[in-house]
Structure 1
Amino acid sequence: MDSKEYISSGILESYILGLASPEEAGILECVMKNNAEVKAAYEEAQKTFELLANAQAIAPPNDLKSKIWDKIQLEQQVAEEPVIPMSNVDSKIEPKQVTQEIRTEKNNSWKSFAVAASVLFLVSIAANLYWMNSQNEIKKELADLKSDKQSQYLAMQNLEQKLKVTSNPNMLKIVLAGVEKHPKSNAVVYWDKTSKDVYLAANSLPKAPQGMQYQLWAIADGKPVSAGMYTDEKDAKIALANIPNAQAFAITLEKEGGSDIPTMENMYVMGEV
């Protein structure tokens, strides 16, 4: 028998399920040590059984275990029935034939028991996999819920901080309207009249391209002074700069990190104090 015939004989599946006889198991183990093809086929078959168990990872019926156990007990009862005394057996039946039938009956009972035990084992694996999958799903849901709560908490903090700035009666509100090239853009500068801190709400500006960033400028005595770089995280929550004096404010789009002088052709909004 060549390797392919040996593999297709079903011995690998019987070995994995525990149905192979000790002699068959011993021969297979010896063959696998000396035949890479048979060993590879065994490993592949083992993976297939594992994938099958994973694919069938569903909750088994509640009464399945009891049904299997009842079948096992029934098989055991049949196997343990007393042997009929030879004196009551028809003399035409040879003792050797009776012994052979009893052995066959016990062998069949053992195989039935082994099949039932294998099924029970697979059911147990499926139940455990289902339980593990359920636990993982629960943990993921809890993690997602925790993440959502954290996000909501941070969003609430941001809104509270923004409200604190925008509702402060000491804040001077300056509306910056879109210039001719960007008529739909607008922004609002909040300038603290006491501390002179400058805040910016610019969420109505287009999203800055990659590598670019909006820069706020204060126009003081006719000269532009950088009032800080804008990011979404700072929107009306974090002071960009401290500007003691200004007659107007404007926003330009600059390279990320800012510029020493404004790029006039990239101006988006402007507004007088």
Structure 2
Amino acid sequence: MDIKEYIASGVLELYVAGSLSEKENQEVYELMMQHPEIKEEVEKIEQAILQITAAASPKATSGLQDTIREAALSTDAPKESQAPKVIPIASKKKTNWTSYTGWAASVLLAAGLFYFYQEKSNLESELQTTKFENNFLEQQIAEANNSLKSAQELVDILRDRNIVATKLDGQNVAPDSYATAFWNKETQTVYIDALGLPEPPAGKVYQVWSLKLDPLTPTSLGLLEDFVDDDNKVFTLANTNESQAFGITLEPAGGSESPTLEQLYTLGVVKS
């Protein structure tokens, strides 16, 4: 900590003037206890203000106090002997306006420093808020652009003339379920639109199967990982098989070597 810079900041004047918050007062007090230079500076400021006050108050009020005292004592004399007295408005002694000016300047300095400190704090707070809002807006715009780009790529894929679309209907375990398999034989890729599948229970995962029908031969194409976190529910899997049908089952986390037919959610035959 730069002690000289801290002393020159004007915080100590605000502390002596009583213009700081309770927390700030505590901070200054702790620094005074840790650094004798700061404590000494505070004492100098306090002494200067006391000297200014002492210089201004007695000289400015002594004449008026004497006049009031004389007027009060005169009321004890008999009324017949009382002569009309005029209380002088102005004292013969010259008022020390320099003392008043010095004290006023000290108060104005403390008030000005406090105002400056408050305005600086408010400005920093506003800048931090504006910076946070701008960063958040930029992030939202970036995410929106990425989503639009992904959506456009998806549309382009599904419009490819080499795509064979196969509707997968819900089975006994989940009649309302549905999905669609978009198979591109040229790229040996299958895209599974799984929007119609319910969220899998904890510890379970959907597994996609390529099927040969005669004899029935299932081959795993992979798992629909991160199903819950995937927004569009479209998954890309490699398929090098001569698939005659596609099915989706619900399996334990990590998948199974063969499909659990009791947990067959959707099934569809590829149209020739």
2:221 aligned to which of 227, 237, 243: 227
Cα distance in structure 1, aligned partners of 2:116 and 2:195: 57
Aligned to 1:34: none
Amino acid at match of 2:25: Q
Cα distance in structure 2, aligned partners of 1:234 and 1:123: 51
Aligned to 2:25: 46
Cα pair 1:252 1:268 within 8 Å, conserved: yes
Q: Secondary structure at the match of 1:176?
A: strand
Aligned-residue offset at 1:47: 4.9
Residues 1-273 of structure 1 mapped to structure 2, 5 A cutoff: 16-19=14-17, 44=23, 46-47=25-26, 98=93, 101-102=95-96, 105-220=97-212, 221-231=215-225, 232=227, 233=230, 239-273=236-270
Aligned residues: 192
TM (normalized to structure 2)?
0.61
Cα deviation, 1:133-187, whole Å, max 9, x if unaligned, reads 2211221122112101110111012101211221111111000111122121110
Q: Secondary structure at the match of 2:165?
A: strand
Structure having the larger proportion of residues in helix:
1
TM (normalized to structure 1)?
0.61
Amino acid at match of 1:271: G
Between structure 1 and structure 2, the one with the greater Rg is 2
Q: Secondary structure at the match of 1:239?
A: strand
Cα pair 1:174 1:190 within 8 Å, conserved: yes
Cα distance in structure 2, aligned partners of 1:238 and 1:270: 17
Amino acid at match of 2:254: G
Amino acid at match of 2:15: L
Aligned-residue offset at 1:112: 2.2
Cα pair 1:162 1:236 within 8 Å, conserved: no
Aligned to 2:40: none
Change (3 A) 1:147 1:137: same
Amino acid at match of 2:139: S
Amino acid at match of 1:248: A
Cα distance in structure 2, aligned partners of 1:17 and 1:106: 24
Cα pair 1:161 1:237 within 8 Å, conserved: no
Amino acid at match of 2:124: M
